[in-house]
């Protein structure tokens, strides 16, 4: 085996080994546990970088991918093959996953307060409450180490294993395996602080909501296997005959082709995993988990996995597309994506929790990618996936750093009523936490698409340009509006958190976080700026052509025919600059002077609309009314009280009563009388006979003799006289 292929096989292995080692052996030793986990992530990172580097060396990498596989399960004549495959798309995904995972692992050390004393009343399942220490003669409270420190690293190790498996797999089945492992890990990690009821509920919600999507995805996989006879990506997606066959095969449902139906089913899986409307509800609640988890789930890995899967399956989704007319599956994606992008952005406007804003922002940005794919902008979607992973991981980790800093202030002042995640309790953190501020600013500007400098600008611009050039006007304007809102709420977040004056005592005593947290921020900030420069369009004014549009050629090579870059047009560029700049400026203008205790300045002018946004369009309530309460009612009233208690229990009780009655009858009339009676009768008769018969036992030897003699004579006479021999 080639060394590169071997390395691809090895990429997912170290985190899995780390998981088992920590769970089985080292879970009592915090230092060893995090060293093993970070070491494993580092090893995976090393393998990934090697593979990525090798991929860069290849001239026509899209044609000659790294692939290796062997027989896994043989079922009758069929054989399922398991294998790894790295093509340009998975290479870039591998690149950002390896980086973000490593950064998140390192960040977790600081976030979980490694090196701090044990908390005074900390217990497993609850976040640490801080410890009192005596220093310089007076007592004060400092953050305490997470009680389940080692377990956290075990879980994120397993999570990383799931993601790496998903990225390197060469078929849909192993991809699904990685997908489900991540589903499990997200459940475990969201519910990491299981002592909190909200965390438990959020974990269940995330698991069950994504499960809806996963069931449909599994159906899609099964259908694809029965229609195509294989699940291998190259065999399906890189063969025009196979795609034509699937596009021509009618599915028999809704007039869709097999390709269309499979594409839609797989897309529903993505809707669940990547939190698209209407299955987006789990993601904001998932903020109950520790912040590195939020970053992993919402930036680097899980939600990216959903988008990665649809980008991967794009040839299938677009199979049967003629003359640029999108297929049904693509139209659905464009609609869902654009709707989600705008809808989540409006909700993000009215959230006060720093992490929730980012959660909705993630939903919105994922909607961007889905919409981009829906209009056929394959490369742009992949590009935005990469840049988004970097700047969103940066923002999540930055928000974690902010929360950590403010929590420090909360512990210091002892004012436990201050919510350390509420942005209206912050302000003025610029000076207290300079590193966090600058990196967060970079991440935020990248998210808003600040022109030229940031990565987010290039990827977002490409999506808008694509939408404009292919005359998807509705999608274009929806996404432009979403971009404006994105810039606005991002600036709102930055202004409320870092600028102005501190609005609480806790914020005044906030503290910069340790280097293990800030250094990953710096690394990610570099990528949040630089990741965009690899994809500068060729015809961009001034810059175009100076830097080659490497990304387009590299990722475009994944497809059978490389998509040609869209013609440059000033209009989408100007739109994107105006919405980004305008949003940022307006956000600063509105929120720069929010006094302590004041309400959101937007709540008055927007009125009921603001409340609608703040209540997330009441979708949770609607779901509760439509699905949860009927389900609870049904299970309580029908399944439990009627079906279980009345029918099943009733049947069982009837059987029990009948058995008791039958048993009583049998005992009374059969057992006691017949069986016992005959048994007793035999005994009594034997006894009576014995009593009567023992009378002959006189003990007089002469009587015995007489009896013996008489018997002898009788026998003798009988023999001699009657038988007469």
Q: What residues make contact with other proteins under the rule CB under 8 A? A: 694, 697-702, 705-706, 709
- Is the separation of the CB atoms in 447 and 392 below 8 Å? yes
Q: Burial-class residue 23 by CB neighbours within 10 Å (0-12, 13-18, 19+).
A: middle
| 60 token code pair | 């026509």
Which DSSP category does 636 fall into?
Answer: I
- Shortest distance in whole angstroms from residue 709 CB to other proteins: 7
DSSP states along 660-708: HHHHHHIIIIIIIIIIIHHHHHHHHHHHHHHHHHGGG----HHHHHHHH
Helix (H) or strand (E) holding 227: helix 197-228
Closest contact distance (angstroms) between CB of 689 and other proteins is: 14
Asked if 427 contacts 501 with a C-beta cutoff of 8 angstroms, the reply is yes
Contact of 421 with 354, CB cutoff 8 Å? yes
Identity of the residue, 57 or 691, whose beta carbon is nearer to other proteins in the bound complex: 691
CB nearer to other proteins: pick between 331 and 703: 703
The SS3 assignment for 72 reads strand
Which value, to the nearest 10 degrees, does the dihedral of the CA atoms of residues 134, 138, 142, 147 take?
Answer: 30
Residue showing tokens 């080994």: 17
Is 230:69 a contact under the CB 8 Å cutoff?
Answer: no
Decide whether 542 or 696 has the Cβ nearer to other proteins: 696
Residue at token pair 């390709």: 259
DSSP 193: S
CA distance 237 to 110: 43
- Are 356 and 284 in contact by the 8 Å Cβ rule? The answer is yes
> Max Cα separation, the chain?
150
Token match 């057992």: residue?
671
Look at the chain and count its residues: 725
3-class secondary-structure state, position 68 = strand
Question: How far apart (Å, rounded) are the C-alpha atoms in residues 49 and 685?
Answer: 99
Q: Mapping DSSP to helix (H, G, I), strand (E, B) and coil, where does residue 602 land?
A: coil
Residue 682 CB, shortest distance to other proteins, in Å, is: 22
Q: Which residue do the tokens 């014995």 mark?
A: 690
Query: Collapsing DSSP states into helix, strand and coil, what is residue 84?
Result: strand
State the residue for tokens 């909501």. Answer: 209
One DSSP character per residue, 523-587 reads: HHHHHHHHGGGGG--TT-TTTBTTB--HHHHHHHTTSSSPPPPPPP-HHHHHHHHHHHHHHHHHH
Nearer to other proteins, 599 or 706 (CB): 706
- Helix, strand or coil for residue 195? coil
Query: Closest approach of Cβ 691 to other proteins, in Å?
Result: 10
- Do the beta carbons of residue 337 and residue 367 sit within 8 Å? yes
Phi, psi for 230 (deg, rounded to 5): -155, 160
The tokens of 622 are what?
A: 């609607």
């Amino acid at each position: 085996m080639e060394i590169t292929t071997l390395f691809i096989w090895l990429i997912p292995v170290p985190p899995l080994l780390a998981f088992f080692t920590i769970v089985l052996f080292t879970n009592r030793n915090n230092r060893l546990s995090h060293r093993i986990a970070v070491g494993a992530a580092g090893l995976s990172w090393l393998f990934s970088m090697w593979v990525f580097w090798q991929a860069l060396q290849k001239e026509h990498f899209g044609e000659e991918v790294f692939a290796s596989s062997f027989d896994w399960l043989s079922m009758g004549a069929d054989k399922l093959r398991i294998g790894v495959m790295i093509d340009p798309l998975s290479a870039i995904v591998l690149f950002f996953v390896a980086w973000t995972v490593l950064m998140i692992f390192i960040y977790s050390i600081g976030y979980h307060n490694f090196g701090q004393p044990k908390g005074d009343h900390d217990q497993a399942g609850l976040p640490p409450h801080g410890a009192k220490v005596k220093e310089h003669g007076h007592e004060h409270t400092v953050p305490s180490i997470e009680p389940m420190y080692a377990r956290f690293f075990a879980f994120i190790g397993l999570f990383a294993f799931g993601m790496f498996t998903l990225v390197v797999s060469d078929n849909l089945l192993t991809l699904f395996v990685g997908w489900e492992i991540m589903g499990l890990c997200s459940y475990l990690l969201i519910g990491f602080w299981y002592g909190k009821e909200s965390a438990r509920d959020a974990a269940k919600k995330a698991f069950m909501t994504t499960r809806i999507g996963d069931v449909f995805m599994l159906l899609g996989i099964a259908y694809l296997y029965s229609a195509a006879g294989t699940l291998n990506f190259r065999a399906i997606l890189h063969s025009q005959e196979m795609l034509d066959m699937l596009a021509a095969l009618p599915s028999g449902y809704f007039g869709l082709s097999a390709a269309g139906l499979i594409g839609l089913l797989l897309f529903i899986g993505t809707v669940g995993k990547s939190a698209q409307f209407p299955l987006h509800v789990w993601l904001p609640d998932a903020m109950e988990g520790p912040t590195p988890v939020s970053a992993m789930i919402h930036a680097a890995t899980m939600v990216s996995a959903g988008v990665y899967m649809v980008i991967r399956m794009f040839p299938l989704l677009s199979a049967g597309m003629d003359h640029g007319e999108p297929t049904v599956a693509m139209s659905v994606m464009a609609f869902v994506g654009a709707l989600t992008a705008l809808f989540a952005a409006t909700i993000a406007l009215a959230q006060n929790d720093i992490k929730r804003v980012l959660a909705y922002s993630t939903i919105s940005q994922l909607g961007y990618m889905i919409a981009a794919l829906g209009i056929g902008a394959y490369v742009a979607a992949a590009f935005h996936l990469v840049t988004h992973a970097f700047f969103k991981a940066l923002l999540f980790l930055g928000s974690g750093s902010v929360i950590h800093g403010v929590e420090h202030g909360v512990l210091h002042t002892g004012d436990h009523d201050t919510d350390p995640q509420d942005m209206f309790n912050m302000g003025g953190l610029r000076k207290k936490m300079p590193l966090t501020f600058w990196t967060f600013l970079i991440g935020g500007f990248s998210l808003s698409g600040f022109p030229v400098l940031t990565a987010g600008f290039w990827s977002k611009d490409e999506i808008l340009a694509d939408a404009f050039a292919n005359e998807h006007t509705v999608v274009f304007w929806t996404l432009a509006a979403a971009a404006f809102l994105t810039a606005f709420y991002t600036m709102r977040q930055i202004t409320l958190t870092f600028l102005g004056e501190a609005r609480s005592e806790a914020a005044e005593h906030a503290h910069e976080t340790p280097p293990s947290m800030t250094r990953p921020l710096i690394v990610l900030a570099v990528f949040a700026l630089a990741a965009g420069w690899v994809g500068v369009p060729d015809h961009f004014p001034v810059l175009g052509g100076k830097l080659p549009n490497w990304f387009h050629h590299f990722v475009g090579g994944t497809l059978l025919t490389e998509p040609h870059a869209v013609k440059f047009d000033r209009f989408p560029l100007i739109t994107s600059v105006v919405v980004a700049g305008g949003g940022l400026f307006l956000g600063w203008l509105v929120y720069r002077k929010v006094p302590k205790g004041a309400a959101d300045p937007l709540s008055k002018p927007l009125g009921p609309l603001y409340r609608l946004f703040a209540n997330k369009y009441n979708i949770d309530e609607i779901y509760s009314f439509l699905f949860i309460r009927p389900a609870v009612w049904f299970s309580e009233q029908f399944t439990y009280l009627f079906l279980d208690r009345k029918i099943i229990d009733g049947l069982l009780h009837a059987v029990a009563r009948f058995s008791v009655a039958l048993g009583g009858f049998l005992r009374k009339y059969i057992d006691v009388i017949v069986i016992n009676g005959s048994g007793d009768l035999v005994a009594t008769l034997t006894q009576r006979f014995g009593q009567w018969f023992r009378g002959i036992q006189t003990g007089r030897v002469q009587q015995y003799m007489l009896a013996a003699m008489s018997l002898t004579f009788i026998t003798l006479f009988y023999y001699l006289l009657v038988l007469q021999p």
